[in-house]
Amino acid sequence: MISSAKPSVPEPFYSNASFYRFVPLSLAYTLVAHFASLLMKPFPCRLSIAPEFPQDRFTIAPRNNLFPAANDNNQGPLAIVTGSNSGIGFETSASLASLGYTVILACRSRDKAMEAVEKINKRIESMSDQGSARGKAVFLAPLDLSSIESVKSFSEAFKEKYSHLNVLVNNAGINTSGVSVDGMDLCYQTNFLGHFLLTRLLLKSLLKAKNFYASGDDVEAGRVVNLSSVTHHFSGCNEARNGGQYFNSSRKHDKKWWNDTSVPGVSDNTYKESKLAALVFSHALNKRFNTEGLVSVAANPGSVDSSIWRHYPPLMQKIHKLIYINEKQGSYTSVASAVGRLPENVLYLQPYWQPFRTLKSKIKDRTRALGFGKRFNVPIPFCEMLGPFIGYAVTEPRLPFDLDESAKDLWDSSSELVGLEK
């Protein structure tokens, strides 16, 4: 049982209820900001949008025998994008394929995945620039992230065919919940635990990969992108759960807190908690495997008019089309996170201009020219819900005070829940 004693120690997160109070502020902010941006268009100080593809990014061409030829036994540059038959995942996959990757569409439905494969490959074939590398989309096996057995089956199918994995984009997600086939909270398992298991099972393949840059000889291993959200700002461990019935006595995002998140009915909003988990998991991966070349980053796509809202009323869907960015724009942070040369120790990208720049660290001029020139402090949440779209920007996320300890507890909790060794 979770203790019913209400904690008194403050934490850096906003309450769940405050999310809805920020919505009108966010709408007002985005209207003012967009109007100001229009007024500034004739002047050189106007906001600039980062390019879809960072200038300094992973190259596809083999070099120094570090990377097999693209057609050598299907062992060229490989990427996996989960939830890629529609929405942000589809656009992310299409962009990676246009850069020369063989992109495996990891989806629940074989039929929908094959339709997406055909659409992406037709788009690639129609591109006028035939001089640069062109990849393709493929389907390997169904992947249902809400099923431990499905994740294991997909991972085995991948390892039987491929020797390495250059990019893994953990994109798939839902914003409704229930109980999974494994008896866990459906949203938390789909959005996070399934991706945790997939990443763990493919770690050896990620560590075997060689990612290098056109601008130099730096070499990385695989890149892991975990999709997060502005809702991570509202995932406090002192938050009352299940209508005020439960309080967390430890006042930490500890192992018990993460365990309880997986239990159906304990939390009434596991979406936001899954998105905080994505951030903390990225930190955990970097802490454990960065010395071996692996890099992980969390990407917030922004407020996107995508298929994730398909269960909402028609009127709400029309409003989303008016004020949200489109699916292509929503893929910018994922693509930049997947292939760009990231500034050191970056953990989080998001797509909106923020009114407050950080004083902690200045990005070198060379990096600024690559699209990562804007670095922001932890935002006030309404500034990250909506606002002027700038593509992608390095931004400090809101994280637990005891991040290393929380990351270890998340790792241990998740390992036990999906049946892996810690």
29 annotated active-site:
no
From the candidates 29, 101, 188, 271, which is the catalytic residue? 271
Cβ 63 vs Cβ 212: under 8 Å: yes
Cβ 166 vs Cβ 224: under 8 Å: no
Tokens of 382: 């309404």
Instruction: List the 102-106 sheet strands across, edge first.
Output: 136-138, 102-106, 78-82, 167-170, 223-227, 295-299, 348-352, 389-395, 375-376
Q: From its phi and psi, is residue 419 left (phi > 0), alpha (psi between -120 and 50) or beta?
A: left
Distance CA 241, CA 276 (A): 16
Helix (H, G, I), strand (E, B) or coil at 328: helix
Report how far apart, in Å, the C-alpha atoms of 315 and of each of 9, 85, 299 are: 41, 25, 28
Distance CA 270, CA 260 (A): 10
Report how far apart, in Å, the C-alpha atoms of 412 and of each of 40, 206, 255, 421 are: 50, 21, 7, 8
**Tokens 């100080």 map to which residue?**
45
Count Cα neighbours of 124 within 13 Å in the Cβ-side half-sphere: 25
Eight-state DSSP code of residue 314: H
| Residue 278, number of CB atoms within 10 A of its CB | 27
Q: Helices 87-98 and 110-125, interaxial angle, to 10°? A: 40
Closest CA to 414 of 223, 174, 299, 253: 253
State the virtual CA torsion across 362, 366, 367, 373 in degrees, nearest 10.
Answer: 60
Cα torsion 330, 335, 336, 337: sign: positive
| DSSP H helices in 233-331 | 255-261, 270-289, 314-323, 327-330
Strand locations in 184-251, DSSP E? 211-212, 219-220, 223-227
Active-site residues: which are they? 271
